[in-house]
A and B are shown apart, each in its own frame.
Chain A
Amino acid sequence: MALLQISEPGQFDAPHQRKLAAGIDLGTTNSLVASVRSGVPETLPDEQGEHLLPSVVQYLKGAAPVIGAKARAAATKDPLNTISSVKRFMGRGLNDVKSLGSQLPYEFVDSESDMPRLRTAAGDFSPVEISADILRNLKQRAQATLGDELTGVVITVPAYFDDAQRQATKDAARLAGLNVMRLMNEPTAAAVAYGLDRGSEGVHAVFDLGGGTFDISILRLNKGVFEVLATSGDSALGGDDMDHVIAEWIMQQAGIKDDADHAQFRRLMHVARDAKEALTGNDNTMVKIELSDGTFWEGELTRNKFNELVDPLIRKTLIPCRRTLRDAGIKVDDIQEVVMVGGSTRVPRVRELVGEFFKREPLVDIDPDKVVAIGAAVQADILAGNKPDGEMLLLDITPLSLGLETMGGLVEKVISRNTPIPVARAQDFTTFKDGQTALALHIVQGERELVTDCRSLAHFELRGIPPMVAGAARIRVTFQVDADGLLSVSAKEQTTGTESSIQVKPSYGLTDNEIEHMLLDSFDHAKDDASIRMLREKQVEADRVIEALTAAIEENGNELLSQQERATIDASMQHLVTVKAGEDVREIKKAIGELDKATQEFAARRMNVSINKALTGHKLDEFKN
């Protein structure tokens, strides 16, 4: 007979109640997954003990993709089928990708959509699908290490990522079967990792130079609240660019022509990267490369020469630094500490120039490769509900202005950069012609005046406007950016109250239909039954709704609901409990919707109560005066 396990009184040991959550740093060069275990956030190694997963995927004909170090090792031999730095293509159009450099060793498929696809031996893949393969690998690693399914993840993105890039990241996670509790800005994650470590207060700068992206953020820490004041950066600047300038130097020195083949370029990039890394600890390094005729070229690269080559790139980072300081209304002397994040901050010259600019020695004590994943793990743990009384709160901002195209190709800003999120802003429009029933809107992101200089996010078409004389309709369009930095749009005709339907055509992203398709494809791939999975998901959602509502009623149902209201809600909830036990997905969905409607007023009252409670003490103080 098995022995009964009894826990000590008051020390309820209920492991199944602790929800498994992880933070994922989906990087240009390397990716990591981290989790809080026994109260300590740490990155999770693979079976070989490696923490860093190279963000490289090799596609083979008729076999599962190879991900990580093995794929990276194959890059030189099989350049076309081995995709690295895919993060640079996320949420980008084919033209953007081409402008990243003629030396990209991939074959892009000309397709009708603006979304680039890469041709490999296993088929054509979008950057979203390739990223999903990397995420799937990390998910498996986390579940194998932690021993159970993940309830949710926090995925980090560069603060300077635009809406399309964020959406692409979230889509990739969805494809990988991950529940994204939050997209978190990388510098904010780094600040969390450092902030919790040191319990520091005041204004901090986070300088984040990764493989392909650069971010600078200014944050204020105050009693557990991380308030981002301003952020700036360059979503196409990083260590890869340093490798490129070294590669170009080698080409010049070794007499390699611009028309060298893919494999030669790959070799060059490898050698360049090795040289860069060697120069972190040494004053000079030998560079050796095989030429197309099988002979070798060998030469020396000194630290001084290297600094000279990369200086223009590093100085490019200082312009955004200056801009953020001004946007935040902060002087260099107000900054208490400068936190360094990202593998490229290992380059001594980067530390030197950043130190010079901020007039203080930058902090490098947490491994710059791991710090972002660690911060994300801390946030994931909190969001999963494992620290109900946690003091920590992150107040983030939108990095780029959102605007609308107006007459003459000009941009009218609706939400300006560095606005705290979530944010909602409404704008009124009217019709131009009698009887007009539709309206086209073009949404862009960026700081410039001309539409052509900004990034196109989406074209919206508002339909169903009641026919009226020109100028009579009042269409209020509301733009909302949520805590993930993602935009949604809704519209209502004010005089008649008609809701306009909105058709979104993302400029570079995937439509919902495309994602559904890919999901179905991947389910087939996994020999999973899509319908069972959908039923399961709905049941889980129903459980969550019931659980949350029960807790809410217990908390203040008596004070906020009349008997009749309470009876309506109880009946609606009972109905959901009944259909949930069945297998009709549509019925469950409908019942969730009905319960949602029945509890709307209750939820609003609850929010009012807590908002009013938040400042009650202060209000009393003021009455005393």
Chain B
Amino acid sequence: MESTFSQNYFELFALPVSFEVDSNTLSEHYRELQRTSHPDKFANATDQERRLAVQTAAHINEAFRVLNNPLERGKYLLSLQGINLDEETDTRMDPQFLMQQMELRESLESVRDTQDPLAKLASLLQEIENTMSDMIAELSVLFANANDEAYKQARDTIRKMQFMHKLRDEVEELEEDLI
């Protein structure tokens, strides 16, 4: 029998290895797994079993976090193929995408000076969300193709998505500052 910790996240959650994940099934299986491993189910057990429960529940939480988030799920699928993002060493990026990023960042920086900064932020946020939805749709197709060229393209898309994620965080931070 394979150990909980050595199974891949999809196996652990009894899901097919795929970019497409049914979020209801995922949540339902998550709750089932937590029902068995959560430390509260071991309140009267020995210290050892409680430690193990904490570790197992933490592992399940981590797996859930990855499977539940398209960006993390994509990265994880690539890692199962032995592909990593080399975030620190690989800095090449599609010039057109970089231009778009710069424009978005410029409009973010000038938000404070506009008449209705919150409205401007909302539209910026919408633009980011739209771009990310497109990227997720792209990843669905690429991972379904499941060949080397598709994985290479998926890696590019995921790297771009990370930029968008970071940008979204910054927009939300600014929004919080302004409220």
Chain A residues within CB distance 8 Å of chain B: 152, 181-182, 222-223, 225, 227, 319, 322-323, 326, 382-385, 393-395, 419-425, 480, 482-483, 544-545, 548-549, 596, 599-600, 603-605, 607-615, 618-619, 622
Cα-based distance from A423 to B38 in the complex (angstroms)? 11
* B1-44 to A contact mask, C-beta < 8 Å, 1/0: 11110000000111010000000000101011111111111011
Q: Are B37 and A222 in contact (CB under 8 A)?
A: no
- Asked if B134 is at the interface of the complex by the 8 Å CB criterion, the answer is no
Does the CB pair B53–A607 fall under 8 Å? Answer: yes
Q: A182-B40, A423-B61, A607-B56 are in contact. List 9 more A-B contacts (CB 8 A).
A: A326-B172, A393-B40, A603-B46, A607-B37, A608-B3, A609-B1, A612-B4, A614-B33, A614-B36
**B134 vs chain A, min Cβ distance (A):** 19
Is there a chain A Cβ closer than 8 Å to B176's Cβ?
yes
Q: Interface readout for B46-78 with A: 1 if CB under 8 Å, 0 if not?
A: 111100111111110110110000000000000
A615 touches B14 (CB 8 A): yes
Residue contact A610 to B16, C-beta cutoff 8 Å: no
- Return chain A residues, CB-CB under 8 Å to B34: 225, 393, 395
Residues of chain A with a CB closer than 8 A to B65's CB: 419-420
Q: Which residues of B contact A393 (CB under 8 A)?
A: 31, 34-35, 38, 40-41
B137 contacts the other chain (CB 8 A): no
Interchain CB contact under 8 A, A383 and B48: no
| Smallest beta-carbon distance B65→chain A, Å | 7
Report if B85 contacts A (CB, 8 A).
no
B31 touches A611 (CB 8 A): no
Residue of A nearest to B59 (CB): A424
Assess the B56–A611 pair: CB atoms within 8 A: yes
A62 to chain B, nearest CB (A): 41
Whether the pair B43, A181 counts as a contact (CB closer than 8 A) is yes
B141 at the interface (CB under 8 A from A): no
Q: Is the CB of B44 within 8 A of A611?
A: no
A322 to B179, CA, bound (A): 10
B46 touches A548 (CB 8 A): yes
Once the chains bind, are B52 and A607 in contact (CB under 8 Å)? yes
Once the chains bind, are A611 and B4 in contact (CB under 8 Å)? yes
Complex CA gap A463/B9 in Å reads 34
> What chain B residues lie within 8 Å of A613 (beta carbons)?
36
Give, as a whole number of angstroms, the nearest-CB distance from A426 to chain B: 10
Report whether B3 and A604 are in contact in the complex, using a CB–CB cutoff of 8 Å.
yes
**Is B31 a contact partner of A222 (Cβ separation < 8 A)?**
yes
Within 8 Å by CB of B14, from A322, A394, A425, A618, lies: A618
Q: Is the CB of A385 within 8 A of B43?
A: yes
Check if B45 is an interface residue, CB within 8 A of chain A. yes
Return chain A residues, CB-CB under 8 Å to B32: 614-615, 618
Let me know if A421 and B61 touch, CB within 8 A: yes
A222 to B29, CA, bound (A): 13
Complex: A612 Cα to B14 Cα, angstroms: 9
Determine whether the beta carbon of B48 is less than 8 Å from that of A610. Answer: no
Assess A619 versus B14: contact at CB under 8 Å? Given A424-B55, A545-B46, A596-B47. yes
Given A326-B172, A482-B39, A545-B46, the answer on whether A422 and B58 have CB atoms closer than 8 Å is yes
What are some 26 contacts across the A-B interface (CB < 8 A)? A152-B43, A181-B43, A223-B31, A225-B31, A225-B34, A227-B31, A319-B179, A385-B44, A393-B31, A393-B35, A393-B38, A393-B41, A395-B34, A395-B38, A420-B64, A421-B61, A423-B61, A482-B54, A483-B40, A548-B44, A596-B47, A604-B3, A607-B4, A610-B37, A611-B36, A618-B32
Q: Specify which of A225, A383, A603 is in contact with B52 (CB 8 Å cutoff).
A: A603
Pick the contact of B58: A423, A608, A612 (CB < 8 A): A423
Contact of A544 among B36, B46, B56, B57 (CB under 8 A): B46
By the criterion CB–CB under 8 Å, are B36 and A610 in contact? Answer: yes
A385 to B44, CA, bound (A): 7
CA distance A152 to B48 in the complex (A): 19
> Closest CB-CB distance, B157 to chain A, in whole Å?
22
- Taking CB atoms, residues of chain B closer than 8 Å to A323 are 176
Of all A-B residue pairs in the complex, the 7 with the closest CB atoms, nearest first, are A383-B43, A424-B58, A615-B14, A422-B58, A614-B36, A420-B61, A483-B39
Are A480 and B54 touching (Cβ within 8 A)? Answer: yes
A419 touching B46, Cβ below 8 Å: no
Judge whether B54 and A622 touch: CB under 8 Å.
Answer: no
Which residues of chain B from 131 to 166 have a CB within 8 Å of any chain A CB?
none
Name which residue of chain B comes closest to A546, CB basis: B46
With A422-B54, A483-B54, A604-B52 as known contacts, state yes or no: A622 contacts B47, CB within 8 Å: no
Contacts of A326 in B (CB 8 A): 172
A540 CB to nearest B CB, Å: 12
Nearest B residue to A488, CB-CB: B54
Please give the distance in Å from A234's CB to the nearest CB on chain B: 14
- CB nearest neighbor in A for B38: A393
* A181: B residues at CB distance < 8 A: 43
> When chains A and B are docked, how far (Å) is the Cα of A618 from the Cα of B12?
12
B178 vs chain A, min Cβ distance (A): 11
Alpha-carbon separation in the docked complex, A222 to B59 (Å):
22
**Do B40 and A384 touch (CB < 8 A)?**
no
**Which A residues touch B179, using CB under 8 A?**
319, 322
A residues near B38, Cβ cutoff 8 Å? 393, 395, 483
For the complex, give the distance between the alpha carbons of A323 and B37 in Å.
31
State which of A483, A604, A608, A615 has its C-beta within 8 Å of the C-beta of B29.
A615
Output the least CB separation between B25 and chain A (Å).
8
- When C-beta atoms are compared, the residue in chain B nearest to A615 turns out to be B14
The reply to whether A383 and B62 contact each other, CB–CB distance below 8 Å, is no
**Interchain CB contact under 8 A, A618 and B29:** yes
**Chain A residues whose C-beta falls within 8 Å of the C-beta of B58 in the assembled complex:** 421-424, 480
How close is B61's CB to chain A, nearest CB, in angstroms? Answer: 5
Whether the pair B1, A612 counts as a contact (CB closer than 8 A) is yes
Task: Contacts A222-B31, A611-B4 given; indicate if A603 touches B59 (C-beta within 8 A).
Answer: no
Q: A490 to nearest B CB, angstroms?
A: 11
A487 vs B26: C-alpha distance when bound (angstroms): 28
Query: What sequence of 0s and 1s flags, for each residue 93-110 of chain B, a beta carbon within 8 Å of any chain A beta carbon?
Result: 000000000000000000
Beta-carbon nearest neighbor of A552 in chain B: B49
Q: Is A614's CB under 8 angstroms from B176's CB?
A: no
Q: Find A422's partner among B3, B27, B31, B57 (CB 8 Å cutoff).
A: B57
Among the listed B27, B46, B54, which residue makes an inter-chain contact with A596, where contact means beta carbons less than 8 Å apart? B46
